[in-house]
Amino acid sequence: MLKYQQIALDIERMIETEQLKRGVKLPVLEALMKEFEVSKSTITKALDLLEKKGVIYQVRGSGIFVRGHKRKGFLSLISNQGFKDSLEEFDITSEVLELKIVQPERYVRDALDLPEGAEAHYVKRIRYINGKTLCVENSYYSKELIPYLNKEIVTGSIFHYITEGLKLQIGFSDMYLQVGKLTEEEAGYLQLKSGDPKLSAETIFHLNNGKPFDYSMITYNYEQSQFYVQSGSYLR
């Protein structure tokens, strides 16, 4: 693990274990440099990482402060593939409805950069949060990048398998959100009524090297859909 990542982790853990509240000032750069025995830029890089993650904010001429402050019961919309997942706060399980290899249609191939006739794993799952239906998920995984999937893997966390089992690193994602009314079929899966509100999320996940490996369409149960999104300035 790189120095700046380790330092970021250490500082984050410190904030957590010491229960530091929003607005609490952290030690000054000089002190952190000495404590971790690294140069200024390394500390800065660690702090930038934490700022990007929404853990702290830095104010020039003043100090480094804890941002913290996520409301309980809200899921991070941006799957926090960071250090410890905030999903640990919840009990999430999956029921696999379908798992097969298909030759996906045009719009899926476009998303995954696949040629005509290429194969992909198709996965249909219902996901539960604390025992309640959270969403129905239709996913396609590029067979070229993810050669093998079975029911066991798919029942658990597919992303965990990809990062830990296959040692692939997830890079970035594009997500498209829409609100609408549930169809008869969706309502059935989610134990709601046809015409009830829904949140639809279409997401394309890419590996570290920019290759798209997963195209997912998720329909969320509106009763369980509470999300938060933290964002920072794009000026720095």
Distance of CA 116 to the CA centre of its chain: 29
**Residue 87: Cβ within 10 Å count:** 14
Closest approach of Cβ 85 to a copy of itself, in Å?
11
Site string for a copy of itself, 72-91 (x = CB under 8 A): --x--xxxxxxx--------
Enter the DSSP assignment of 25: B
- The letter for the amino acid at 85 is D
Residues 35-94 that bind DNA (CB under 7 A): 37-42, 44-45, 47, 58-64
Position 233 contacts DNA (CB under 7 A): no
| Number of chain positions touching a copy of itself (CB under 8 A) | 58
- Kindly write down the DSSP assignment for every residue of 49-105, as one continuous string: HHHHHTSEEEETTTEEEE---PPTT-EESS---SSS-GGGGS-EEEEEEEEEEE---
Please list the residues that pair with 99 across neighbouring strands.
Answer: 123
Give the sign of the dihedral formed by CA 109, CA 115, CA 116, CA 121.
Answer: negative
Closest approach of Cβ 98 to DNA, in Å?
32
The single residue listed with the structure tokens 């799957």 is 79
The single residue listed with the structure tokens 């000089």 is 30
β-bridge pairing 132-142 and 75-76? unpaired
CA dist., res. 181 & res. 203, Å (int): 19
Which one of 17, 178, 209, 233 is in contact with DNA (CB under 7 A)?
209
Which range of residues in 29-37, 70-78, 120-128, 148-156 is near a copy of itself by CB under 8 A? 70-78
Site string for a copy of itself, 107-146 (x = CB under 8 A): ----------------------------------------
Burial 105-115 (b: 16+ CB within 10 A, else e): eeebbebbebe
Which range of residues in 100-108, 132-140, 150-158, 221-229 is near a copy of itself by CB under 8 A? 221-229
Position 27 contacts a copy of itself (CB under 8 A): no
**Residue 122: Cβ within 10 Å count:** 18
Position 3 contacts a copy of itself (CB under 8 A): no
Position 229 contacts DNA (CB under 7 A): no
Residues 166-185 that bind a copy of itself (CB under 8 A): 169-181
Q: Which residues contribute to the site for a copy of itself (CB under 8 A)?
A: 5, 23, 41, 49, 52-54, 57, 59, 62, 65, 67, 69-71, 74, 77-83, 169-181, 196-199, 206, 208-210, 220, 222, 225-236
